[in-house]
Structure formats: structure tokens, C-alpha cells
Amino acid sequence: MTVVTVENVHKYLGVGAQRTHVLRGIDLQASAGEFVGLAGKSGSGKTTLLRAIAGLIPLDKGRIDVLGIDVGQASEAEVLDLRRNVVGFVHQDDLLIQELTAAENVMLVLSAAGVSQRDAEAMARDSLTRVGLGELLDRYPAELSRGQCQRVGIARALSGERRVLLADEPSAALDTENSHTMFGLFRDLAEAGSTVIATSHDPIMNE
């Protein structure tokens, strides 16, 4: 089953003399149970493509469909619902709220999706345990290493029953051991039926 379809996508960034044609007629299909790795030099548009799939930026031309929803034509509410319940996004920067613990950062997304407090706590604990942070649930971002903060961001994206995971350079702040663990998690998710699309310069992604 095809979950994500990208058809003839074009995107320009910047204005005037700085206007750059970042995405040039991109086509991509990703199915349930598939782990797609996107590689390329910096500035080639990998991050822009992921952001477009998540509905975070508009297209200049083309079409992106996620589980039957035309992201470019969907209402703001529909796109927001898509990100809350279907698409998880792992950013290059962890984007954690400094005043919340690791568990609370994960729970915040679940609560926004309508998950009860009790279930959100259990899901957050499970997600953080899966990325190796089960003993650090109550730590604040300032008490964690950069790599640990990135793993909290990954746990946040993994939480709930999201069917699509978009990961933008997810191993940038991780050491080799944790990178192996993280990409292993992504492969496990794909084997369980999720669609995973990741960008990375890390050769571990292709192992």
C-alpha cells in the first residue's frame, strides 16, 4: 500500500537574486513497511522535501499525497491533524521545551492529539525506553547531553500510533552506538508496518 506519493514537486526558496530552485520535479513513492533513506550533499533539498511532506511549507508546483490526503489542498486543520496523529517529525534540532522534563516533552504532543493523561504517561515512558532513556524520564533538557536531547525528540516522534515517520539528519548528534540503535528502531517500525523516510549523511543508515 502506497502511503506517501510525491509527484513532480518544485519548490523555490529565497527572493530576488537569492531565489533558488531547491526541488526540481521530485517524484517519490513510499509504502507501508518501507524505510526510505535520502542521501545527498548539503543544500540539495532533502530537508525541504521532508518539510513539504509534513505540510510545514507550501509547494510551488506538484502534488504530495499522504494516506489519501492532498497535503497542498488540505485545510490547515486537516494538515494539523495529520501531524498530530499520522506523521511524526524528527528535526535536526531537538526543539525541546526547556521547562519540561523528557517525559513531559513527549506527553505534550500526545495530549495535543487527545490522548488521556494516563495513556500519555505510559506511551511517553514506552517511547523513551525504546530510545534508551527509560531511566531519564524526569530529567530536564539542560540535564541531558545533546545526543540524549536528540533521542527525546526521536521518542516524541515515535510516540502514539503514527504511521509515517520523517527524520531529518536524526543521527547528527549521536555517537556510533546510539546511531545504530536509532536506525534499528526505524527499521523495526518499518517492519511493523510504518513508513519511514529519513535523510542522513551517516553511512550507518544504509547498513
Domain ranges of the chain: 1-86+163-207, 98-161
Averaged pLDDT for residues 148-159:
88
What are the strands, taking DSSP E only, across 14-99?
20-31, 35-38, 61-66, 69-70, 87-90
Widest pairwise Cα distance in the chain: 53
pLDDT in tens, 111-128: 988 899 999 999 999 999
SS3 82: helix
pLDDT reading at 69 higher than 90: yes
pLDDT for res 91: 84
Higher pLDDT, 170 or 55: 55
205 touches 151 (CB < 8 A): no
pLDDT above 70 covers what percent of the chain?
100
The CATH code belonging to domain 1-86+163-207 is 3.40.50.300
Global pTM value: 0.86
Higher pLDDT, 93 or 38: 38
Kindly list the distances between the CA atom of residue 117 and the CA atoms of 29, 121, 154, in Å, as whole numbers in the listed order.
36, 6, 20
Indicate the DSSP class of residue 203: G
E strand or H helix at 9 = strand 2-13
SS3 164: strand
* Predicted confidence band of residue 18 (pLDDT cuts 50, 70, 90): confident
pLDDT for res 79: 93
**Average pLDDT, whole number, for the chain?**
91
pLDDT for res 168: 92
